[in-house]
Amino acid sequence: MNKTHYELIILGSGPAGLAAGLYAARARIDHLLIEKGAAGGQVLLTDWVDNYPGFPDGLTGFELAEKMEAHARRFGLNTLTANVVSMDLLQTPKQLTLEDGEQLSCNALIICSGARPQRLGIPGEIEFSGKGVSYCATCDAPFYRDMHVAVVGGGNTAVQEASHLTKFASQVTLIHRRDSLRATKVVQERAFANNKIDFIWDSQVIAIEGGKGVERLRLRDTAGKETTLAVDGIFILIGVIPNNEMLPLQLLKAEDGGFIPTDTETRTAVPGVFAAGDIRSKEMRQIVNAAGEGATAVLAAEYYLNNLTP
Amino acid sequence: MASDKVQTINDAAFKTTVSSNVPCLVDFWAPWCGPCKAIGPVIEDLAEEYAGKVTILKMNVDDNPVTPGKFGIRAIPTLILFKNGEVVDQITGAVGKKQLVDLINKAL
Protein backbone atom coordinates (compact mmCIF):
# COMPACT_ATOMS: atom_id res chain seq x y z
CA MET A 1 0.00 0.00 0.00
CA ASN A 2 1.49 3.33 -1.03
CA LYS A 3 -1.01 5.93 0.10
CA THR A 4 -0.78 6.53 3.84
CA HIS A 5 -2.57 9.86 4.29
CA TYR A 6 -6.29 10.49 3.94
CA GLU A 7 -8.51 13.49 4.58
CA LEU A 8 -10.84 11.27 6.57
CA ILE A 9 -10.38 7.89 8.21
CA ILE A 10 -13.39 5.93 9.47
CA LEU A 11 -12.54 3.33 12.08
CA GLY A 12 -14.95 0.39 12.09
CA SER A 13 -17.42 -1.24 9.72
CA GLY A 14 -20.61 -1.70 11.70
CA PRO A 15 -23.75 0.28 10.82
CA ALA A 16 -22.20 3.59 11.97
CA GLY A 17 -19.02 3.02 9.97
CA LEU A 18 -20.86 1.84 6.86
CA ALA A 19 -23.26 4.79 6.97
CA ALA A 20 -20.29 7.13 7.41
CA GLY A 21 -18.56 5.36 4.51
CA LEU A 22 -21.63 5.81 2.33
CA TYR A 23 -21.88 9.53 3.09
CA ALA A 24 -18.12 10.07 2.71
CA ALA A 25 -18.02 8.25 -0.62
CA ARG A 26 -21.00 10.20 -1.94
CA ALA A 27 -19.43 13.46 -0.78
CA ARG A 28 -16.25 12.45 -2.68
CA ILE A 29 -14.15 12.93 0.44
CA ASP A 30 -10.68 11.37 0.26
CA HIS A 31 -11.41 8.61 2.76
CA LEU A 32 -10.43 5.20 4.09
CA LEU A 33 -12.61 2.88 6.15
CA ILE A 34 -10.55 0.51 8.31
CA GLU A 35 -12.31 -2.74 9.13
CA LYS A 36 -11.14 -5.59 11.32
CA GLY A 37 -12.92 -8.39 9.47
CA ALA A 38 -15.99 -8.56 7.27
CA ALA A 39 -18.38 -5.62 7.53
CA GLY A 40 -21.40 -5.61 9.82
CA GLY A 41 -20.20 -5.38 13.39
CA GLN A 42 -22.62 -6.61 16.00
CA VAL A 43 -25.42 -6.75 13.43
CA LEU A 44 -23.78 -10.02 12.41
CA LEU A 45 -24.65 -11.39 15.85
CA THR A 46 -28.35 -10.63 15.38
CA ASP A 47 -30.56 -13.37 14.02
CA TRP A 48 -33.40 -11.12 12.92
CA VAL A 49 -33.77 -7.35 12.53
CA ASP A 50 -37.38 -6.27 12.82
CA ASN A 51 -36.97 -2.60 13.70
CA TYR A 52 -34.91 -1.07 10.90
CA PRO A 53 -37.12 1.32 8.93
CA GLY A 54 -37.60 0.50 5.27
CA PHE A 55 -37.65 -3.27 5.72
CA PRO A 56 -41.29 -3.97 6.60
CA ASP A 57 -40.83 -7.75 6.48
CA GLY A 58 -37.69 -7.74 8.62
CA LEU A 59 -34.43 -9.36 7.54
CA THR A 60 -31.50 -11.21 9.05
CA GLY A 61 -28.64 -9.26 10.57
CA PHE A 62 -26.43 -10.90 7.99
CA GLU A 63 -28.54 -9.60 5.11
CA LEU A 64 -28.75 -6.09 6.54
CA ALA A 65 -24.95 -5.95 6.94
CA GLU A 66 -24.47 -7.12 3.35
CA LYS A 67 -26.94 -4.54 2.04
CA MET A 68 -25.29 -1.72 3.99
CA GLU A 69 -21.88 -2.69 2.68
CA ALA A 70 -23.06 -3.07 -0.91
CA HIS A 71 -24.77 0.31 -0.68
CA ALA A 72 -21.57 2.09 0.37
CA ARG A 73 -19.49 0.15 -2.19
CA ARG A 74 -21.78 1.30 -5.00
CA PHE A 75 -20.50 4.84 -4.40
CA GLY A 76 -16.84 3.87 -4.19
CA LEU A 77 -16.22 3.08 -0.52
CA ASN A 78 -12.49 2.64 0.06
CA THR A 79 -11.62 0.01 2.68
CA LEU A 80 -8.61 -1.59 4.32
CA THR A 81 -8.69 -4.72 6.48
CA ALA A 82 -6.40 -3.98 9.41
CA ASN A 83 -6.28 -3.70 13.15
CA VAL A 84 -5.52 -0.27 14.64
CA VAL A 85 -3.59 -0.67 17.89
CA SER A 86 -2.91 2.93 18.92
CA MET A 87 -3.25 6.52 17.78
CA ASP A 88 -1.81 9.97 18.37
CA LEU A 89 -4.59 12.52 17.99
CA LEU A 90 -2.58 15.54 19.13
CA GLN A 91 -0.26 15.48 16.13
CA THR A 92 -1.12 17.16 12.83
CA PRO A 93 -2.07 15.14 10.90
CA LYS A 94 -3.52 12.57 13.31
CA GLN A 95 -1.54 9.31 13.38
CA LEU A 96 -2.87 5.76 13.54
CA THR A 97 -0.64 2.74 14.12
CA LEU A 98 -1.65 -0.64 12.72
CA GLU A 99 -0.89 -4.04 14.24
CA ASP A 100 1.88 -4.67 11.69
CA GLY A 101 3.56 -1.39 12.69
CA GLU A 102 2.45 0.57 9.63
CA GLN A 103 1.39 4.19 10.16
CA LEU A 104 -1.57 5.95 8.58
CA SER A 105 -2.53 9.58 8.99
CA CYS A 106 -5.65 11.68 8.53
CA ASN A 107 -6.98 15.18 9.09
CA ALA A 108 -10.29 13.98 10.48
CA LEU A 109 -11.18 10.72 12.21
CA ILE A 110 -14.57 9.12 12.83
CA ILE A 111 -14.43 6.46 15.53
CA CYS A 112 -17.04 3.72 14.96
CA SER A 113 -15.23 0.92 16.75
CA GLY A 114 -18.43 -0.27 18.39
CA ALA A 115 -18.86 -2.62 21.29
CA ARG A 116 -18.81 -6.32 22.07
CA PRO A 117 -20.79 -8.59 24.38
CA GLN A 118 -20.18 -8.14 28.07
CA ARG A 119 -19.03 -11.17 30.05
CA LEU A 120 -20.47 -12.18 33.41
CA GLY A 121 -17.03 -12.70 34.96
CA ILE A 122 -18.02 -15.80 36.93
CA PRO A 123 -16.27 -19.15 37.50
CA GLY A 124 -16.62 -21.54 34.56
CA GLU A 125 -17.38 -18.84 32.01
CA ILE A 126 -14.02 -18.89 30.23
CA GLU A 127 -13.44 -22.60 30.83
CA PHE A 128 -16.70 -23.52 29.06
CA SER A 129 -16.57 -20.84 26.35
CA GLY A 130 -17.56 -22.61 23.15
CA LYS A 131 -18.49 -25.70 25.18
CA GLY A 132 -21.88 -24.51 26.30
CA VAL A 133 -21.19 -20.85 27.02
CA SER A 134 -22.16 -18.60 24.12
CA TYR A 135 -22.59 -14.90 23.40
CA CYS A 136 -24.25 -15.34 20.00
CA ALA A 137 -27.60 -17.09 19.83
CA THR A 138 -27.84 -16.76 16.07
CA CYS A 139 -24.48 -18.55 15.66
CA ASP A 140 -24.88 -21.33 18.14
CA ALA A 141 -28.62 -22.01 18.55
CA PRO A 142 -28.58 -24.95 16.07
CA PHE A 143 -26.19 -26.85 18.38
CA TYR A 144 -28.93 -27.01 21.03
CA ARG A 145 -31.63 -28.92 19.20
CA ASP A 146 -34.04 -30.47 21.74
CA MET A 147 -31.89 -29.34 24.66
CA HIS A 148 -32.47 -27.04 27.63
CA VAL A 149 -30.62 -23.74 27.56
CA ALA A 150 -30.52 -20.69 29.79
CA VAL A 151 -30.40 -17.08 28.64
CA VAL A 152 -29.05 -14.44 31.00
CA GLY A 153 -30.27 -10.86 30.64
CA GLY A 154 -33.43 -8.80 30.42
CA GLY A 155 -32.82 -6.39 27.54
CA ASN A 156 -33.84 -6.59 23.90
CA THR A 157 -31.03 -8.88 22.85
CA ALA A 158 -31.61 -11.41 25.63
CA VAL A 159 -35.38 -11.56 25.23
CA GLN A 160 -35.40 -11.61 21.43
CA GLU A 161 -32.71 -14.28 21.26
CA ALA A 162 -34.56 -16.37 23.89
CA SER A 163 -37.45 -16.49 21.42
CA HIS A 164 -35.06 -17.37 18.58
CA LEU A 165 -33.55 -20.21 20.62
CA THR A 166 -36.96 -21.89 21.00
CA LYS A 167 -36.78 -22.77 17.30
CA PHE A 168 -34.13 -25.32 18.31
CA ALA A 169 -34.08 -25.86 22.07
CA SER A 170 -36.89 -27.74 23.81
CA GLN A 171 -36.81 -25.38 26.78
CA VAL A 172 -35.35 -21.91 27.31
CA THR A 173 -35.03 -20.48 30.81
CA LEU A 174 -34.51 -16.74 30.96
CA ILE A 175 -32.66 -15.66 34.08
CA HIS A 176 -32.85 -12.01 35.04
CA ARG A 177 -31.50 -10.24 38.09
CA ARG A 178 -34.57 -7.98 38.35
CA ASP A 179 -38.31 -8.71 38.57
CA SER A 180 -39.21 -7.25 35.17
CA LEU A 181 -37.71 -7.02 31.69
CA ARG A 182 -36.18 -3.96 30.05
CA ALA A 183 -36.84 -5.20 26.50
CA THR A 184 -39.23 -3.41 24.13
CA LYS A 185 -42.86 -4.36 24.85
CA VAL A 186 -43.48 -6.19 21.57
CA VAL A 187 -40.37 -8.30 22.19
CA GLN A 188 -41.55 -9.07 25.74
CA GLU A 189 -45.05 -10.00 24.57
CA ARG A 190 -43.65 -12.57 22.16
CA ALA A 191 -41.50 -14.13 24.87
CA PHE A 192 -44.32 -14.29 27.45
CA ALA A 193 -46.59 -15.93 24.86
CA ASN A 194 -43.99 -18.60 24.04
CA ASN A 195 -44.67 -21.74 26.10
CA LYS A 196 -41.10 -22.98 25.64
CA ILE A 197 -39.75 -20.01 27.64
CA ASP A 198 -39.86 -19.91 31.42
CA PHE A 199 -38.48 -17.20 33.67
CA ILE A 200 -36.37 -17.07 36.81
CA TRP A 201 -36.60 -13.60 38.32
CA ASP A 202 -34.46 -11.72 40.83
CA SER A 203 -31.58 -14.14 40.33
CA GLN A 204 -27.97 -14.07 39.22
CA VAL A 205 -25.82 -16.84 37.82
CA ILE A 206 -22.84 -17.19 40.14
CA ALA A 207 -21.07 -20.17 38.56
CA ILE A 208 -21.13 -22.39 35.48
CA GLU A 209 -20.31 -26.03 36.10
CA GLY A 210 -19.96 -29.23 34.11
CA GLY A 211 -17.61 -31.84 32.77
CA LYS A 212 -16.75 -31.84 29.06
CA GLY A 213 -19.41 -29.21 28.54
CA VAL A 214 -21.84 -27.12 30.57
CA GLU A 215 -24.13 -29.23 32.77
CA ARG A 216 -25.56 -26.88 35.38
CA LEU A 217 -25.65 -23.32 36.69
CA ARG A 218 -25.47 -22.14 40.26
CA LEU A 219 -27.94 -19.33 40.92
CA ARG A 220 -28.38 -16.94 43.79
CA ASP A 221 -31.56 -14.93 44.27
CA THR A 222 -31.84 -11.47 45.81
CA ALA A 223 -32.69 -13.03 49.19
CA GLY A 224 -29.35 -14.86 49.07
CA LYS A 225 -30.79 -18.33 48.48
CA GLU A 226 -28.70 -20.56 46.23
CA THR A 227 -30.10 -23.13 43.80
CA THR A 228 -28.83 -25.27 40.92
CA LEU A 229 -30.30 -25.37 37.43
CA ALA A 230 -29.44 -28.21 35.03
CA VAL A 231 -28.90 -26.89 31.49
CA ASP A 232 -26.98 -27.89 28.36
CA GLY A 233 -25.92 -24.37 27.53
CA ILE A 234 -25.99 -20.75 28.61
CA PHE A 235 -26.31 -17.67 26.42
CA ILE A 236 -24.94 -14.56 28.11
CA LEU A 237 -26.64 -11.49 26.64
CA ILE A 238 -26.23 -8.82 29.31
CA GLY A 239 -25.16 -5.80 27.31
CA VAL A 240 -21.98 -4.53 25.75
CA ILE A 241 -18.56 -3.12 26.57
CA PRO A 242 -16.76 -0.64 24.29
CA ASN A 243 -14.07 -1.61 21.80
CA ASN A 244 -11.80 1.15 23.00
CA GLU A 245 -8.41 -0.51 23.49
CA MET A 246 -6.83 1.52 20.66
CA LEU A 247 -8.24 4.86 21.84
CA PRO A 248 -6.59 7.55 24.00
CA LEU A 249 -9.34 7.42 26.61
CA GLN A 250 -8.18 10.26 28.83
CA LEU A 251 -7.81 12.62 25.91
CA LEU A 252 -11.28 11.70 24.62
CA LYS A 253 -12.69 12.10 28.16
CA ALA A 254 -14.13 8.56 28.14
CA GLU A 255 -16.91 7.96 30.65
CA ASP A 256 -19.27 5.32 32.07
CA GLY A 257 -17.11 2.30 31.40
CA GLY A 258 -15.06 3.65 28.52
CA PHE A 259 -17.61 5.02 26.07
CA ILE A 260 -16.81 8.30 24.26
CA PRO A 261 -18.91 11.38 24.94
CA THR A 262 -19.77 13.71 22.04
CA ASP A 263 -21.98 16.71 21.35
CA THR A 264 -25.13 16.36 19.25
CA GLU A 265 -23.03 16.58 16.06
CA THR A 266 -20.84 13.63 17.21
CA ARG A 267 -17.83 15.89 17.94
CA THR A 268 -15.58 14.49 20.68
CA ALA A 269 -13.36 16.51 23.02
CA VAL A 270 -10.59 16.42 20.37
CA PRO A 271 -11.03 18.74 17.35
CA GLY A 272 -11.42 16.74 14.14
CA VAL A 273 -12.29 13.53 15.97
CA PHE A 274 -15.87 12.28 15.88
CA ALA A 275 -17.55 9.22 17.39
CA ALA A 276 -20.62 7.39 16.10
CA GLY A 277 -22.52 4.22 16.96
CA ASP A 278 -22.17 2.00 20.01
CA ILE A 279 -18.78 3.46 21.05
CA ARG A 280 -20.57 6.76 21.82
CA SER A 281 -21.67 7.41 25.35
CA LYS A 282 -25.47 7.24 25.14
CA GLU A 283 -28.59 5.52 26.42
CA MET A 284 -29.94 3.83 23.32
CA ARG A 285 -27.82 1.50 21.22
CA GLN A 286 -29.79 0.62 18.11
CA ILE A 287 -28.80 -0.07 14.50
CA VAL A 288 -30.92 2.83 13.31
CA ASN A 289 -29.30 5.45 15.53
CA ALA A 290 -25.81 4.09 14.85
CA ALA A 291 -26.43 4.62 11.13
CA GLY A 292 -27.85 8.08 11.76
CA GLU A 293 -24.83 9.07 13.81
CA GLY A 294 -22.49 7.82 11.08
CA ALA A 295 -24.14 10.18 8.61
CA THR A 296 -24.05 13.08 11.08
CA ALA A 297 -20.36 12.46 11.76
CA VAL A 298 -19.46 12.76 8.07
CA LEU A 299 -21.27 16.08 7.75
CA ALA A 300 -19.52 17.36 10.88
CA ALA A 301 -16.17 16.05 9.62
CA GLU A 302 -16.71 17.65 6.23
CA TYR A 303 -17.44 20.98 7.90
CA TYR A 304 -14.28 20.58 9.99
CA LEU A 305 -12.14 19.71 6.94
CA ASN A 306 -13.49 22.63 4.92
CA ASN A 307 -12.56 25.05 7.70
CA LEU A 308 -9.04 23.78 8.29
CA THR A 309 -6.53 26.48 7.47
CA PRO A 310 -4.33 25.12 4.67
CA MET B 1 -10.58 -11.50 -2.34
CA ALA B 2 -11.19 -15.21 -2.02
CA SER B 3 -8.03 -17.18 -1.51
CA ASP B 4 -7.62 -20.55 -3.19
CA LYS B 5 -5.21 -21.46 -0.39
CA VAL B 6 -8.09 -22.22 2.00
CA GLN B 7 -9.30 -25.76 1.37
CA THR B 8 -12.65 -27.16 2.37
CA ILE B 9 -12.76 -30.44 4.22
CA ASN B 10 -15.54 -32.95 5.00
CA ASP B 11 -16.17 -35.61 7.64
CA ALA B 12 -14.88 -38.40 5.39
CA ALA B 13 -11.49 -36.83 4.68
CA PHE B 14 -11.00 -35.30 8.11
CA LYS B 15 -8.93 -37.91 9.92
CA THR B 16 -6.40 -38.52 7.17
CA THR B 17 -5.94 -34.81 6.54
CA VAL B 18 -5.27 -33.69 10.12
CA SER B 19 -3.02 -36.71 10.79
CA SER B 20 -0.35 -35.03 8.70
CA ASN B 21 2.82 -33.79 10.39
CA VAL B 22 2.13 -30.45 8.72
CA PRO B 23 0.02 -28.50 11.24
CA CYS B 24 -3.63 -27.97 10.22
CA LEU B 25 -5.85 -25.14 11.36
CA VAL B 26 -9.51 -26.09 10.90
CA ASP B 27 -12.13 -23.34 10.86
CA PHE B 28 -15.50 -24.83 11.85
CA TRP B 29 -18.12 -22.50 10.41
CA ALA B 30 -21.63 -22.29 8.98
CA PRO B 31 -23.30 -20.05 6.43
CA TRP B 32 -25.80 -18.69 8.99
CA CYS B 33 -23.05 -17.45 11.31
CA GLY B 34 -22.14 -13.76 11.10
CA PRO B 35 -18.93 -13.90 13.13
CA CYS B 36 -17.76 -16.78 10.90
CA LYS B 37 -18.17 -14.44 7.96
CA ALA B 38 -16.40 -11.69 9.88
CA ILE B 39 -13.20 -13.70 10.34
CA GLY B 40 -13.29 -15.08 6.78
CA PRO B 41 -10.86 -12.48 5.39
CA VAL B 42 -8.43 -13.13 8.27
CA ILE B 43 -8.48 -16.88 7.59
CA GLU B 44 -7.74 -16.19 3.93
CA ASP B 45 -4.85 -13.89 4.85
CA LEU B 46 -3.38 -16.58 7.10
CA ALA B 47 -3.69 -19.18 4.36
CA GLU B 48 -1.64 -16.95 2.06
CA GLU B 49 0.97 -16.15 4.69
CA TYR B 50 1.43 -19.69 5.99
CA ALA B 51 1.18 -21.46 2.63
CA GLY B 52 3.39 -24.56 2.73
CA LYS B 53 3.89 -24.34 6.51
CA VAL B 54 0.36 -24.76 7.85
CA THR B 55 -2.68 -26.20 6.09
CA ILE B 56 -5.70 -23.97 6.57
CA LEU B 57 -9.02 -25.77 6.22
CA LYS B 58 -12.68 -24.86 6.53
CA MET B 59 -15.37 -27.31 7.59
CA ASN B 60 -19.05 -26.43 7.15
CA VAL B 61 -20.70 -27.82 10.31
CA ASP B 62 -24.08 -27.88 8.57
CA ASP B 63 -22.91 -30.42 6.01
CA ASN B 64 -20.56 -32.29 8.36
CA PRO B 65 -22.14 -33.10 11.74
CA VAL B 66 -19.77 -35.91 12.76
CA THR B 67 -16.48 -34.09 13.29
CA PRO B 68 -17.88 -31.09 15.23
CA GLY B 69 -19.75 -33.53 17.48
CA LYS B 70 -16.58 -35.52 18.10
CA PHE B 71 -14.75 -32.41 19.27
CA GLY B 72 -17.67 -31.13 21.37
CA ILE B 73 -18.09 -27.98 19.31
CA ARG B 74 -21.12 -26.00 20.48
CA ALA B 75 -20.17 -22.57 19.24
CA ILE B 76 -18.86 -21.24 15.96
CA PRO B 77 -16.55 -20.08 14.67
CA THR B 78 -14.29 -22.54 16.50
CA LEU B 79 -10.74 -22.93 15.23
CA ILE B 80 -8.82 -26.04 16.19
CA LEU B 81 -5.13 -26.48 15.52
CA PHE B 82 -4.00 -30.07 14.82
CA LYS B 83 -0.59 -31.65 14.48
CA ASN B 84 -0.12 -35.37 13.80
CA GLY B 85 -3.83 -35.84 14.42
CA GLU B 86 -3.67 -34.39 17.93
CA VAL B 87 -5.36 -31.19 19.08
CA VAL B 88 -2.67 -28.61 19.92
CA ASP B 89 -5.09 -25.88 21.02
CA GLN B 90 -8.35 -24.24 20.05
CA ILE B 91 -10.08 -20.90 20.11
CA THR B 92 -13.74 -19.86 19.81
CA GLY B 93 -15.25 -16.65 18.48
CA ALA B 94 -14.36 -13.99 15.95
CA VAL B 95 -10.91 -13.27 17.38
CA GLY B 96 -8.30 -10.98 15.86
CA LYS B 97 -5.51 -11.98 13.53
CA LYS B 98 -2.87 -11.70 16.26
CA GLN B 99 -4.65 -14.29 18.43
CA LEU B 100 -4.82 -16.67 15.46
CA VAL B 101 -1.14 -16.14 14.67
CA ASP B 102 -0.33 -16.88 18.33
CA LEU B 103 -2.44 -20.03 18.07
CA ILE B 104 -0.71 -21.22 14.88
CA ASN B 105 2.74 -20.56 16.36
CA LYS B 106 2.03 -23.15 19.03
CA ALA B 107 2.45 -25.84 16.37
CA LEU B 108 5.49 -24.38 14.57
Cis previous bond, A310, omega within 30: no
Does residue A255 share a domain with residue A226? no
pTM summary value: 0.85
For B38, name the nearest residue in chain A, comparing CA atoms only: A38
B3: confidence class by pLDDT, cuts 50, 70, 90: low
Does residue A249 share a domain with residue A111? yes
Does residue A49 share a domain with residue A192? no
Where in the sequence is the domain holding A41, given as residue range(s)? 5-116+240-306
pLDDT at position A260 is 98
- Interface check for A115 against chain B (CB to CB < 8 A): the answer is no
Asked whether residue A124 is domain-assigned, the answer is no
Across the interface, whether the CB atoms of A45 and B34 are under 8 A apart is answered yes
- Amino acid of residue A273: V
For B37, name the nearest residue in chain A, comparing CA atoms only: A38
Q: How far is CA A204 from the centre of its chain?
A: 23
Does residue A232 share a domain with residue A154? yes
pLDDT at position A310 is 64
Count of structural domains, chain A? 2
- Interface check for B41 against chain A (CB to CB < 8 A): the answer is yes
pLDDT at position B33 is 87
| Element holding A55 (H helix, E strand) | none
pLDDT at position A124 is 96
pLDDT at position A253 is 97
A109: confidence class by pLDDT, cuts 50, 70, 90: very high
Asked whether residue A156 is domain-assigned, the answer is yes
The catalytic position among A47, A140, A232, A278 is A140
Please give the Cα distance from A12 to A34 (Å, whole number): 6
Residue pLDDT, tens place only, A51-74: 999 999 999 888 999 999 999 999
ipTM: 0.77
Across the interface, whether the CB atoms of A37 and B42 are under 8 A apart is answered yes
Chain A residue numbers touching B38 (CB-CB < 8 A): 36-38, 40, 44
pLDDT at position B35 is 87
In the listed set A236, A263, A294, which residue is the last one of a domain according to the structure? Answer: A236
Domain CATH number, residue A159: 3.50.50.60
Does residue A147 share a domain with residue A79? no
For A13, name the nearest residue in chain B, comparing CA atoms only: B38
A138: confidence class by pLDDT, cuts 50, 70, 90: confident
- Per the rule left: phi > 0, alpha: psi between -120 and 50, beta: everything else, A253 is left
Domain at B7-105: CATH architecture: 3-Layer(aba) Sandwich (3.40)
In the listed set A197, A220, A236, which residue is the last one of a domain according to the structure? Answer: A236
Catalytic: B36?
A: yes
Asked whether residue A125 is domain-assigned, the answer is no
Of A9 and A40, more confident: A9
- Interface check for A233 against chain B (CB to CB < 8 A): the answer is yes
Asked whether residue A123 is domain-assigned, the answer is no
The catalytic position among A139, A179, A198, A263 is A139
